[in-house]
Amino acid sequence: MHAEGAMLHSKIMAYDLVVIGSGPGGYSAAVRAGQYGLKTAIIEKAPKLGGTCLHVGCVPTKALLHTAEVWDYFLHPAEQGLSCENPQLNLPAVMKRKQDIVDKHAKGITGLMRKNKVEVIAGYGTLLGGGRINVQSAEGTRVIESKAILIATGSEARMIPGLEPDDEFILTNVEILKLQSVPKSLAIIGAGAVGTEFASIFKRYGSQVTVLEMLPRLVPVEDEDVSKELERCFRKAGIRCETGAKASDIQRTGTGVSLNVTLANGKVEPLLVDKLLIAVGRKPNTDKIGLENVPGVQVDRGFIKVGPDQQTGEPGVYAIGDVVAGTPQLAHVATAEGMIAVAAIAGKPFTPINRNRIPGATYTEPGIGSVGLTEAQARQQGYDVKIGKFPFAGNSKASIVGHHEGFVKIVSDAKYGEILGVHIIGPHGYELIAEAVAAMEAEATVDTMINTIHAHPTLYEALGEAFNAVYGQAINF
- Enzyme catalytic residues: 456
The residue type found at 37 is G
Alpha carbon distance 148, 36 (integer Å)? 14
Identity of the residue, 280 or 291, whose beta carbon is nearer to ligand NAI in the bound complex = 280
> What residues have CB less than 8 Å from 326, skipping those under 6 apart?
303, 305, 355
Q: Which stretch binds ligand NAI (CB under 6 A): 186-194, 288-296, 380-388, 411-419?
A: 186-194
Contact status: 190 vs ligand NAI (CB under 6 A): yes
Contact status: 307 vs ligand NAI (CB under 6 A): no
**Is residue 155 within 8 Å of residue 183, measured between CB atoms?**
no
Judged by DSSP in three states, 177 sits in helix
Alpha carbon distance 144, 133 (integer Å)? 5
- Within 53-112, the residues that bind ligand NAI by CB under 6 A are none
Q: Which stretch binds ligand NAI (CB under 6 A): 4-12, 18-26, 206-214, 376-384?
A: 206-214
Contact status: 163 vs ligand NAI (CB under 6 A): no
Q: Give the residue ranges of DSSP H helices in 258-349.
A: 331-345
What is the C-alpha R_g of the chain? Answer: 24
Identity of the residue, 122 or 325, whose beta carbon is nearer to ligand NAI in the bound complex = 325
Contact status: 362 vs ligand NAI (CB under 6 A): yes
Measured at CB, which residue is nearest to ligand NAI?
192
b/e map 84-116, b = 16+ CB within 10 Å: eeeeebeeeebbeebeebbeebbeebbebbeeb
**Is residue 336 within 8 Å of residue 320, measured between CB atoms?**
no
Q: Which stretch binds ligand NAI (CB under 6 A): 114-122, 234-242, 257-265, 323-331?
A: 323-331
CB of 397 to ligand NAI, least distance (A): 23
Contact status: 211 vs ligand NAI (CB under 6 A): no
Identity of the residue, 220 or 302, whose beta carbon is nearer to ligand NAI in the bound complex = 220
Backbone torsions φ then ψ of 272, nearest 5 degrees: -120, 120
Q: Judged by CB under 6 A, which of 65, 189, 385, 466 binds ligand NAI? A: 189
CB of 380 to ligand NAI, least distance (A): 20
Q: Which stretch binds ligand NAI (CB under 6 A): 126-134, 202-210, 276-284, 448-456?
A: 276-284
Q: With the CA atoms of 161, 163, 167 and 170 taken in that order, what torsion angle do they form, in degrees rounded to the nearest 10? A: -100
Instruction: Enumerate binding residues for ligand NAI (CB under 6 A).
Output: 160, 189-195, 197, 212-215, 220, 247, 279-282, 328-330, 361-363
